């Protein structure tokens, strides 16, 4: 940064000197001699070269800043917390499945369990988990020969 500031100051001083030289080198007609024009062109070239060097150093600084940035963001702010699977909701939840299988194993259909009341009757009933429902329909399709002969029309309520 100090180098860039020093080069900017040097370029400004050279430009001021070149303007002053040009004002001083003009004759009474406002023209500049060939020798003075060559000297002025050399001074102007030095100013342009300093500008190019300043641009080069600024690009270098930007590139260094980009390279110094971290290459990626952390996967998680809390290590170990990302190992958990997202919690399922509705009939796919573990509480629903546990309550369903407990009621099947113990043949206790009378007890009302809140986990089994997820969803509505119109969406397929209370006591069938999603995974089991899909397995059941797949097995029914294999066993039911009428289904292969019939035209099956899927509706929004059909799963």
User: Are 58 and 25 spatial neighbours (Cβ–Cβ below 8 Å)?
Assistant: no
Identify whether 21 is part of a domain.
yes
Domain-embedded: residue 74: no
- Residue 156 covered by a domain: no
Verify that 97 and 142 share a domain, yes or no: yes
Tell which of 68, 98, 117 closes a domain: 68
d(CA 109, CA 126): 12
pLDDT tens profile 113-154: 555 555 555 555 556 666 777 787 788 777 777 777 888 777
Does residue 61 belong to any structural domain of this protein?
yes
Angle between helices 34-68 and 2-25 (to 10 degrees): 160
* Residue 157 belongs to some domain of the structure: no
Residue 99 within any structural domain of the chain: yes
pLDDT above 90 (res 15): yes
Q: Which of 68, 25, 72, 66 is nearest to 44 (CA)?
A: 25
Please give the C-alpha separations between residue 140 and each of 73, 108, 111, 133, 156, in angstroms, as whole numbers. Answer: 49, 26, 29, 11, 19
Q: How many domains does the chain have?
A: 2
Average pLDDT on 69-76 reads: 66
Q: Find tokens 């029309």 and name the residue.
A: 153
Claim to verify: residue 96 and residue 143 sit in the same structural domain: yes
Query: Could you tell me the residue range of the domain that residue 11 belongs to?
Result: 2-68
Q: Is residue 79 part of a domain?
A: no
Q: Are 7 and 50 in contact (CB under 8 A)?
A: yes
Instruction: Note whether 138 and 106 are same-domain residues.
Output: yes
């Amino acid at each position: 940064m100090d180098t860039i500031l020093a080069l900017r100051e040097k370029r400004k001083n050279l430009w001021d000197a070149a303007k002053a030289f040009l004002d001083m080198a003009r004759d009474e007609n406002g023209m500049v001699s060939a020798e003075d024009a060559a000297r002025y062109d050399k001074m102007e070239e030095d100013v342009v070269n300093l500008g190019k060097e300043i641009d080069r150093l600024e690009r270098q600084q930007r590139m260094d800043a980009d390279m110094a940035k971290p290459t990626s963001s952390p996967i998680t702010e809390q290590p170990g917390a990302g190992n958990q699977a997202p919690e399922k909701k509705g009939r796919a939840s573990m509480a629903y499945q546990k309550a369903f299988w407990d009621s099947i194993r113990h043949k206790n259909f009378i007890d009302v369990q809140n986990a089994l009341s997820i969803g509505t009757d119109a969406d397929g009933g209370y006591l069938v988990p999603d995974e089991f429902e899909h397995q059941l329909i797949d097995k029914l399709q294999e066993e039911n020969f009428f289904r292969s002969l019939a035209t099956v029309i899927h509706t929004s309520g059909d799963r």
